[in-house]
Amino acid sequence: MDPDFWHARWEQNRIGFHLDQVNPWLVEYWPSLGLHAGSRVFVPLCGKSLDMLWLAEQGHDVVGVELNPIAVRAFFEENDLLPRVEAAGPFEIWSVEQITLLLGDYFELQPAQLGEVSAVYDRASLVALPEDMRRDYVAHLDALAPGVPRLLITLDYAQERAEGPPFAVSDEEVRDLYASHGSLTRLAAVDILDANPRYREKGLDRLVESVWRIG
């Protein structure tokens, strides 16, 4: 997927993927990862998610990576945060006390730039990518955050009936992508179609949101 696609979505404010509240699955299932306060959490393709604020409120240090400058700037402005901004190679680093956003391309991020993290939170990253990019995304995540637990949220629906993003990611694909990651547990699976009528208007008869604990 061309970066210009995402830049256009933010410029046109076509960001239906953004939630104006903390994701309830995060609140319910994050404790299952068993992290201590002070643990460092990585949020790939983070946008301006309020989930990062919640994670910081739990005592975590949060680092996200985001391609679009509108999203990064909006995160700090909308939450009345005044960041420090500095350049570091192909990235700009925007940071306040417990939250750091790396402005740049996820696929250019190197382990030394990210540093050591204790967990990964993926609410809208895997589902943001078309099928032909998802295996590369997971492989790069493995290089950036090897062996750490992950909380993953996916959507599954009849892809031929609606265009992504968010894209449909089946249970079978999740199990295939993460087959080498030790334990993989689906913590929840709920059909959320009734709460998303725009998808029913596209002809969908199911829209299943799943929560996974990996590792």
Residue 63: per-residue pLDDT: 98
Tell how far CA 114 is from the center of its chain: 16
Measured over all CA atoms, what is the biggest interatomic distance in the chain, rounded to whole angstroms? Answer: 47
Whether residue 136 contacts residue 97, with contact meaning beta carbons closer than 8 Å, is answered with no
Of how many residues is the chain composed? 215
For the chain, domain boundaries:
3-214
Q: What are phi and psi of 160, to 5 degrees?
A: -70, -15
Q: Name beta bridge partners: 100.
A: 63, 95
Measured in degrees and rounded to the nearest 5, phi and psi for residue 210 equal -120, 150
- CATH superfamily of the 3-214 domain: Vaccinia Virus protein VP39 (3.40.50.150)
Residues β-bridged to residue 41:
62, 119
Cα 112 to chain centroid, rounded: 20
Instruction: Give the residue, 11 or 136, on which the prediction is more confident.
Output: 136
Q: What is the mean pLDDT of residues 28-46?
A: 96
Helix (H, G, I), strand (E, B) or coil at 1: coil
DSSP 8-state symbol, 85: E
- pLDDT for residue 54: 98
pLDDT tops 80 at residue 67: yes
pTM of the model: 0.94
> How does pLDDT run across 87-133, given as a tens digit for each residue?
999 999 999 999 999 999 999 999 999 999 999 999 999 999 999 99
